[in-house]
Amino acid sequence: MNNRILTTHVGSLPRPERVVTQLFAQDSGLNYDPGEFDSVMEAEVKDVVARQVAAQVDVVSDGEMSKISYATYIRHRLTGFELGEMPRAVPRDLDDFPDFKERLAKLGATPKYHRPICTGPIAVKDLAGLHKDIANLKAATKSAPQANGTPRRAFMNSASPGVIAVFQPNKYYASTELYLQALADAMATEYEAIVAAGLDLQIDAPDLAMGRHIKFRDVDDNEFLRNANLQVEALNHALRNVPAERVRMHVCWGNYEGPHHHDIGLEKIIGVVLKAKPATVLFEGANPRHAHEWEVWAQAGREGRIPDHKILAPGVLDTVNNFIEHPRLVAQRLLTYANIVGRDRVMAATDCGFGTFAGFGAIHPPICFAKLASMAEGAQIASKELWK
């Protein structure tokens, strides 16, 4: 049991230019040198862990340095995916403001990477990249131990079966259910390997929220929720051999600056989110579209719908602007959630990642770490009030 609120974040952090160069070389196959790639990733993971430690982040990550994005990396690890061209679904909110959408495109505020398409049977192909990621993160945390000399707690991101299915088109399986089943069976190997290595596993599942106004933008809520339930069932199957307390899950509505007025309300998806096995839930709680939804959590708490083992990790930092949140605001947000589930069941987190796609991010890198440091200070303020 902790005697304070711990701090963490969603996973991705700003990637240095030399990391971005390596990732695009790997993705395109042009000028790709595996030895140089591995050397760069090892060094940059060590550096990004040190920067998190300096910002007093308690539960750190590798910043997703080796991944070009949170979901498309899977084509290097699984069979059945080929690069191809298919029309991309555009967030419905941006379509309502075409001039703004065009401005974002001209500013380069859209990710640029090849899109994997499922064209064959899915199975584990090559987990060498995963094992290198694990080794790099463990080495980095070993070089930055906690004050008492014990290893620093760390987590590693992995895509949910649902987010792969929602955003990587299927042209092979006869149904969504079969596609999800194949993904769950294949991804289980990655999930289990991360936990077996002594790391916490983070499942990235924006499909449970963002999917509504992108892939499922033209159907009703019931159809979206039917699919969301299938996605959670697939995830739970994939996690069948992993203890719930070793897993955290991130849910979000899209890490981009936009109107977000078509985001599905938390009150409509909280039930399916809480059905997922992971014990810790990370979610948006700082940005102007979702900061008010602490009320939804509060109502769920009053109604006894939040299982006793669930830990809430609200976003207390917005990840699409360069404001550094005041530590007192961070503390207020954390105290709000502590009043809902108790001080021992709250962690401080961020709305989303700071580098969702390689080469694409709204936050100036030094400001990112300043925001994390402010979060740590705010968590200290809240902890002093909660552990008087």
DSSP of 205-229: -GGGTGGGGTTTTTS-HHHHHHHHH
Does residue 180 belong to any structural domain of this protein?
yes
- pTM reported for the whole predicted model: 0.96
For residues 146 and 34, the model is more confident at 34
> What CATH number does residue 227 fall under?
3.20.20.210
Confidence of residue 331 (pLDDT cuts 50, 70, 90): very high
pLDDT at 81 over 70: yes
pLDDT at 112 over 80: no
Region 171-193: mean pLDDT is 98
* Whether the Cβ atoms of residue 223 and residue 216 lie closer than 8 Å to each other: yes
DSSP state of 348: B
- Give the pLDDT of residue 106: 74
The alpha-helical segments, DSSP class H, found in 60-204 are 92-95, 98-106, 128-142, 161-167, 176-196
Summary mean pLDDT of the chain: 95
Confidence of residue 2 (pLDDT cuts 50, 70, 90): confident
- Give the pLDDT of residue 90: 84
Residue 74's Cβ-count burial label (10 Å; 0-12, 13-18, 19+) is buried
Does residue 8 belong to any structural domain of this protein?
no
- Give the pLDDT of residue 356: 86
Does residue 12 belong to any structural domain of this protein?
no
pLDDT at 109 over 60: no
350 is in which domain, residue-wise?
17-386
Confidence of residue 359 (pLDDT cuts 50, 70, 90): confident
- Give the pLDDT of residue 115: 82
Region 321-331: mean pLDDT is 98
pLDDT at 105 over 90: no
Confidence of residue 148 (pLDDT cuts 50, 70, 90): confident
Q: H helices then E strands: how many in the chain?
A: 12, 7
Strand partners, 251: 283
pLDDT at 87 over 80: no
Does residue 9 belong to any structural domain of this protein?
no
Does residue 161 belong to any structural domain of this protein?
yes
- Give the pLDDT of residue 145: 87
For residues 329 and 70, the model is more confident at 329
- Of 83-87, 129-133, 294-298, minimum mean pLDDT range: 83-87
Confidence of residue 125 (pLDDT cuts 50, 70, 90): very high
Closest CA to 144 of 133, 132, 153, 155: 153
- Give the pLDDT of residue 50: 97
pLDDT at 73 over 70: yes
Q: What percentage of the chain exceeds 90 in pLDDT?
A: 87
Tokens at residue 33, please? 């040198």
Phi, psi for 315 (deg, rounded to 5): -70, 120
For residues 125 and 113, the model is more confident at 125
- Give the pLDDT of residue 111: 57
Confidence of residue 161 (pLDDT cuts 50, 70, 90): very high
pLDDT at 211 over 90: yes
- Three-state SS string over 284-341 comes to CCCCCCCHHHHHHHHHHHHCCCCCCCCEEEEECCCCCCCCCCCHHHHHHHHHHHHHHH
> What amino acid occupies position 299?
Q
Q: How many domains does the chain have?
A: 1
pLDDT at 113 over 80: no
Confidence of residue 85 (pLDDT cuts 50, 70, 90): confident
Q: How far apart are the first and last CA of the chain?
A: 16
Does residue 289 belong to any structural domain of this protein?
yes
- Give the pLDDT of residue 151: 82
Does residue 11 belong to any structural domain of this protein?
no
For residues 375 and 150, the model is more confident at 375
Q: Which residue has the tokens 């990396």?
A: 73
Residue 268 CA, distance from chain mean position: 21
Region 337-348: mean pLDDT is 98
Phi, psi for 280 (deg, rounded to 5): -105, 135
Confidence of residue 280 (pLDDT cuts 50, 70, 90): very high
- Give the pLDDT of residue 40: 98
* Whether the Cβ atoms of residue 180 and residue 229 lie closer than 8 Å to each other: no
